[in-house]
């Protein structure tokens, strides 16, 4: 349709200006106006039925008026250029959604299932949780699951953005979309389809790009009132000047096309650039908030540290099977320290954990509690001692002091108010953390606090390593959230970074909550930004994307408003007519589009 309208418009112009065939020219212009103009008129009518005065209404009235005064060339030019502008807008939005399209196309469509010892290729939709799948060299892992047999070198770049191969073996997690480059593994499905990490990435980015920024919402409201305002102005001009052509020209040139597309295209491009780098920003309103943050609060374990601690010290105060019981209870939780204790027990004893079948109760900020043979078991931080009013012996107090002074995180196990086990664990600080905090400070986030449930000596040691001098230790989740709220009441725009269930209240309450990609599902679901590869430096990159997107949006708004103002001035002085003005109008839309596309090429 657009090609036909464009061709007829060109034919009409040639017939009129070169061949002096006015009748043929007007016929070509008329058909071109119908072809390009009818869809515009239908949109205007649909909008009116919904009680909305759209931009299409301005163009429709102007085109009908141009035909009425026999300005067929103007009518054809206006309808074609407006339709061409809409075409460019749609193509641009499709291109900025390309990250989603690419991800969707990369999803595996089939899987090889093991059924009664036989390999059976099935559609991915037929795979249920618990199914066992074989993944061979060159195959994509079709589900999230646990490797139950075999080993392989796996490319997880699609999930984490990390280009180097990862060695995977029995007991490790495999993620949908990763590719086996060498070896063969059997994977038992734990999550399928949209529930997988890869599925959630796609879902989050899709939702984010549909989520409007405050500027976009303002422009939508502006356009709602702008259209009737322009109509009133055009009517007044007609009444006072008796110049129908001038009134029609005002209707055409006052169309804020570049203004309407300017904010959404910047928003979508910014989110797309973030997604390309493994930064999932959940919407335009998040971009607006992220650009304004001036304070950062962050958890320690699994956030500034790798979240893969190892047991360095262990003190057993009773000759019994308490370590085996501790490992069995801890395997029911997903806390990084708990996983480390299970791994330590299995490596030390070269056996899997026993199966005591004991239910546990999780006490946020403290640990877990259970009952065993009529005895009350507690495992957790040193808060276990105060919670149960336990007094340490001289030796136990000395051991605790030595472990904590070495910067180790302490896990204690008590049985009926007696300390039976003390473990010290160490975790490595993530690469680039110190540099990231320095860059954040330089960019305006001058208040930086580490909040942790660990004791003060461990917290201070980590804080010194990463260059932070504001620390709050031994904090419960609700205390973290309360501290965050106090800062907000003081007028601070707070960014909170965490990874665990304990962090989810603060992540949800913050102006912007960031979850590390290796964190729990709850933290990821409640956050505003997800760092898929858990790269700490991407916190600074996310803020750079947000600030660049806001600048780009304001530039586009300025271009749009400036274009309309200049065109109206040009009309007033007789420098601009309807067709030439519409051409400049569409050029401004192109400028806005290309300006937004610069975000996709942003370098970190």
Catalytic site positions: 299
Q: What is the CA radius of gyration of the chain?
A: 32
> Is 593 in contact with 89 (CB distance < 8 Å)?
yes
Phi first, then psi, for residue 350 (nearest 5°) are 50, 45
CA 401, CA 378: separation in Å to the nearest integer?
20
Phi first, then psi, for residue 521 (nearest 5°) are -60, -35
The residues facing 372 across adjacent strands are: 375
Cα separation values, 303 from 208, 274, 334, 531, Å: 24, 20, 15, 11
Three-class HEC string of 211-241 = CCCHHHHHHHHHHHHHHHHHHHHHHHHHHHH
301: helix, coil or strand?
helix
CA 482, CA 476: separation in Å to the nearest integer?
10
CA 415, CA 393: separation in Å to the nearest integer?
15
> Is 504 in contact with 522 (CB distance < 8 Å)?
yes
DSSP per position, 85-96:
HHHHHHHHHHHH
CA 459, CA 470: separation in Å to the nearest integer?
10
Phi first, then psi, for residue 228 (nearest 5°) are -65, -30
528: helix, coil or strand?
coil
Cβ atoms < 10 Å from Cβ of 208: 27
Query: H or E element: which one contains 248?
Result: helix 244-253
Q: What tokens appear for 33 in the block?
A: 């106006």
DSSP per position, 151-193:
EEEEE-HHHH---S-EEE-TT-EE-TT-EEEEEEEEEEEEE-G
> Is 108 in contact with 34 (CB distance < 8 Å)?
no
Query: H or E element: which one contains 110?
Result: strand 110-115
How would you label 14-23 residue by residue, b for 16+ Cβ within 10 Å and e otherwise?
ebbeeeeeee
CA 263, CA 531: separation in Å to the nearest integer?
25
> Is 528 in contact with 512 (CB distance < 8 Å)?
yes
Cα separation values, 462 from 151, 309, 465, Å: 35, 14, 5
Phi first, then psi, for residue 98 (nearest 5°) are -60, -30
Cα separation values, 517 from 70, 145, 147, Å: 63, 16, 20
Query: H or E element: which one contains 288?
Result: helix 284-292
Q: How many CA atoms lie within 13 A of 257 on its CB side?
A: 32
Q: Where are the alpha helices (DSSP H) in 467-509?
A: 477-489, 504-509
253: helix, coil or strand?
helix
């Amino acid at each position: 349709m657009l090609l036909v309208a464009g061709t007829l418009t060109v034919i009409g112009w040639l017939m009129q200006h070169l061949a002096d065939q006015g009748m043929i020219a007007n016929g070509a212009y008329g058909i071109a106006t119908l072809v390009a103009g009818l869809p515009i008129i239908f949109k205007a009518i649909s909008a009116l039925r919904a009680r909305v005065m759209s931009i299409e209404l301005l163009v429709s009235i102007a085109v009908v008026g141009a035909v009425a005064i026999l300005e067929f060339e103007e009518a054809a030019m206006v309808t074609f250029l407006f339709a061409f502008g809409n075409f460019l807008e749609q193509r641009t939005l499709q291109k900025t959604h390309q990250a989603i399209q690419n991800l969707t196309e990369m999803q595996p469509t089939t899987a090889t299932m093991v059924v009664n010892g036989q390999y059976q290729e099935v559609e991915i939709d037929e795979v249920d949780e618990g199914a066992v799948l074989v993944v061979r060299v060159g195959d994509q892992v079709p589900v999230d699951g646990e490797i139950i047999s075999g080993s392989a070198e796996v490319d997880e770049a699609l999930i984490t953005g990390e280009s180097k191969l990862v060695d995977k073996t029995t007991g490790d997690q495999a993620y949908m979309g990763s590719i086996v480059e060498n070896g063969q593994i059997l994977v038992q499905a734990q999550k399928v389809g949209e529930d997988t990490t890869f599925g959630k990435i796609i879902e989050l980015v899709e939702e984010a790009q549909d989520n409007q920024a405050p500027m976009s919402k303002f422009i939508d409201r502006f356009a709602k009132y702008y259209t009737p305002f322009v109509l009133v102005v055009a009517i007044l001009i007609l009444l006072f000047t008796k110049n129908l052509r001038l009134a029609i020209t005002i209707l055409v040139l006052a169309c804020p096309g570049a203004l309407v597309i300017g904010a959404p295209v910047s928003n979508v491009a910014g989110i797309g650039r973030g997604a390309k780098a493994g930064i999932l920003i959940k919407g335009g309103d998040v971009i607006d908030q992220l650009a304004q943050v001036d304070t950062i609060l962050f958890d320690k374990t699994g956030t500034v540290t790798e979240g893969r601690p190892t047991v360095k010290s262990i003190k057993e105060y009773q000759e019994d099977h308490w370590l085996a019981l501790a490992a069995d209870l801890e395997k029911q939780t997903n806390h990084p320290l708990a996983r480390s204790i299970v791994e330590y027990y299995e490596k030390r004893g070269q056996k899997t954990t026993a199966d005591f079948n004991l239910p546990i109760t999780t006490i946020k900020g403290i640990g877990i509690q259970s009952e065993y043979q009529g005895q009350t078991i507690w495992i957790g931080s040193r808060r276990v001692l105060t919670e149960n009013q336990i007094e340490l012996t001289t030796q136990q107090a000395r051991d605790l002091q030595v472990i904590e002074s070495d910067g180790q995180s302490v896990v204690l196990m008590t049985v009926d108010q007696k300390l039976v086990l003390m473990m010290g664990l160490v975790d490595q600080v993530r690469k680039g953390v110190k540099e990231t905090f320095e860059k954040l400070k330089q960019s305006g986030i001058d208040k930086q606090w580490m909040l942790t449930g660990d004791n003060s000596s461990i917290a201070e040691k980590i804080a010194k390593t990463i260059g932070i001098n504001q620390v709050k230790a031994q904090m419960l989740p609700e205390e973290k959230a309360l501290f965050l709220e106090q800062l907000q009441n003081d007028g601070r725009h707070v960014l909170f970074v965490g990874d665990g269930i304990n962090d989810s209240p603060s992540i949800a309450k913050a102006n912007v909550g960031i979850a590390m990609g290796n964190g729990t599902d709850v933290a990821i679901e409640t956050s505003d930004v997800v760092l898929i590869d858990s790269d700490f430096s991407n916190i600074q990159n996310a803020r750079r994307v947000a600030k660049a997107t806001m600048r780009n949006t304001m530039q586009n708004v300025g271009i749009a408003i400036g274009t309309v103002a200049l065109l109206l001035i040009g009309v007033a002085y007789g420098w601009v007519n309807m067709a030439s003005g519409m051409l400049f109008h569409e050029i401004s839309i192109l400028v806005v589009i290309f300006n937004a596309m610069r975000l996709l090429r942003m370098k970190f």
